Structure 1
Amino acid sequence: MDTPATHTPATHAAATNTATAAMAEILELDAEVLGTYLSELTTWLGELSDREPVRIVDLGSGTGTGAIALARRFPRAGVSAVDVSPQMLHRLSVKASGLGLADRVHGVQADLDQEWPALGPSDLVWAAAALHHLADPERVLSHVFDALRPGGLLAVTEMDFFPRFLPEDIGVGRPGLEARLHAALKGAPAAGWTDHLVRAGFTPEAERAFVIDLPTPLPVATARYARACLRKLRSHLDGQLPAEDLDALDTVTDDESPHGVLRRDDLTVRTTRTTWVGRRP
């Protein structure tokens, strides 16, 4: 008879650390592969701002994809990067130091579902793929409204769908694999954030969809980015796809397989991200 698995605080902590490390890898590779998109987005925000931001807040910053991009775009700004995870903020600190930004990018550990941190007045608040994770986004938006100076901006960005990388025929007898795995994981369509912004007191300023379809040559980190993203999706797919599809996905993410993403020359990067911008009157 098999012995039931024992879940202890130590095993739970180990699992949490593993999941955090996997997500941190995706976030860092995302910043590297999608640098052109981030530059386009931050430039657009600069055009919408009534003056150059000098105080910026990145909510749910993770490893600092947004915080670093904003610090680069606005060289006079100090950026407070807020995240619940000390591991994520440590990675942010190391990255900021390596880029010579340690004097302008600072981590703030806080659980936004518990208490709003003391951040002072801000010119721009950035929340990328963060607000939908919160238990009460409306409460957080009200805090953001209070924290922004009049005329300041809030930019909320969401991923419309996880990036796609694979051709229709991946060479292992399962054509259309990636389309099926995305269909299996697809939830209800996002309703957008305009109504939420209005209820919090913001004036809707703009809404823009950024279509990402990278041309060749792709960034050198693309294969590792594809592997990390596909492995992340794979972790949610047991019972959602036939065993043959799961086996094919395991083959595609296997570093030693000739069909694995690290050895392919036919990858693409396709996704869409939408940003809603509100202004405090």
Structure 2
Amino acid sequence: MSQTHPRTPHHGASPRHHHERDSGGQAEILDLDAEVLAEHTASITASLPLRNGPHHVVDLGCGTGAGTFALLDRFPDAHVTAVDMSAEHLRRLRAKACARGVEERVRTVQADLDAAAWPDLGSPDLIWASASMHHMTHPERALRTVRDTLAPGGLFAVVELAGHPRFLPENAPQGSPGLEERVHAAADRRQAEHLPHRGADWGPMLSAAGFTVEDERTITVNIEGDGRGEAIGRYALGVLSRIRGAVADGLSPEDLTALDQLLDTAAPQGILRRDDLTVRTERTVWAARRA
């Protein structure tokens, strides 16, 4: 997941607008995203209304592989075609596959999913798109391409988040309570200009593209820092640092100062030293069958 205004992660996709000079930092956040949300991702793959175990899965906007490896774990007889625009993300994914000994089950394809023509992805039984569809400039066209790509009776799983994850208590930080919500509000205003499909209801669009929506559910994510405090801290630091780079001119001087203090890794009040962080967000999942 790679975004441009600002570049913050939405769980696993970077289908377009990617600048390779920025891919290393984005990849680190995607890796943390995968680590922190692994159990939730696994639960989604386990709940998909599949008729049979898939043999070929396509992960659209795969990022560094959060969905790819969850799918490989869930379906041990399947192989996955992982598609992303970022060569760096695909390189990292391939390295992970080799380290896990599953490289023979993974094919990587570099492609711009906003292009009118996609590369040949075969006829998969399952297509997974986590936090990638809202990046599409022409989602209706992409949905039709997905439908044509799926094998007859195949399933398309769309996973989207309600927004950026929240990490801080509502009364934090001291002296500037509610700072995180104000920062996210500024980010939402900025992203509304560039990602008009973020937060969309994909059900009607899926139906219009020739799918039958078989399941729609919203999953609340609330992860405490128990045993994962360090990873959550680094995740929060990465997400908020990237948001800060895009919304600094939309914050008051007082809020910008407070945010910079949070992001100061050497400061005693910095986010890496907090023991009250959580990960709070919502994921909505649509499972749609090719009619």
> Which residue is equivalent to 1:5?
none
Q: Compute the displacement of 1:218 (Å).
A: 4.5
The 1-side partners of 2:26 and 2:219 are apart by 22
TM-score by length of 2: 0.87
Q: 1:24 aligns with which of 10, 24, 27?
A: 27
Do the aligned partners of residues 218 and 169 (structure 1) sit closer, same or farther apart at CA in structure 2, a change above 3 Å counting? Answer: farther
Equivalent-residue separation in structure 1 for 2:29 and 2:225 (angstroms) = 21
**Residues 202-225 of structure 1: CA distance to partner in whole angstroms, max 9, x if unpaired?**
001111111000134152411111
Shift in Å, 1:18: 3.9
- Counterpart position of 2:270: 260
Does the 8 Å contact 2:20/2:86 carry over to 1?
A: no
**Of 131, 146, 151, the match for 1:149:** 151
Deviation (angstroms), 1:110: 1.0
| Map of 1:271 onto structure 2 | 281
Map residues 1-281 of structure 1 onto 2, 5 A cutoff.
Answer: 16-45=19-48, 48-114=49-115, 115-187=117-189, 190-219=199-228, 220-281=230-291
Change (3 A) 1:139 1:258: same
Which range moves more in the overlay, 61-70 or 208-217? 208-217
Supply the AA of the counterpart residue of 2:238: A
Conserved? CA contact 1:198–1:204, under 8 Å:
yes
Alignment partners' CA distance in 2, 1:191 and 1:214: 25
* C-alpha distance in structure 2 between counterparts of 1:171 and 1:177, whole Å: 7
1:168 touches 1:175 (CA, 8 Å); kept in 2?
A: yes
Could you say what secondary structure the match of 2:81 adopts?
Answer: strand
CA contact (8 A) 2:114 2:138 kept: yes
With normalisation by structure 1, the TM-score equals: 0.90
The one-letter code sitting in structure 2 at the alignment partner of 1:66 is: G
- C-alpha deviation, 1:175, in angstroms: 1.1
Counterpart AA for 1:253: L
Structure 1 residue runs of 4 or more that deviate by more than 6 Å after TM superposition: none
Quick one: which amino acid aligns to residue 156 of structure 2? L
1:116 and 1:140 in contact (8 A); partners too:
no
Residues 172 and 248 in structure 1, CA contact (< 8 A), matched pair in contact too: no
User: How far 1:265 sits from its partner (Å)?
Assistant: 0.7
In 1, the alpha carbon distance for the partners of 2:142 and 2:118 equals 8
Alignment-mate amino acid for residue 201 of structure 1: G
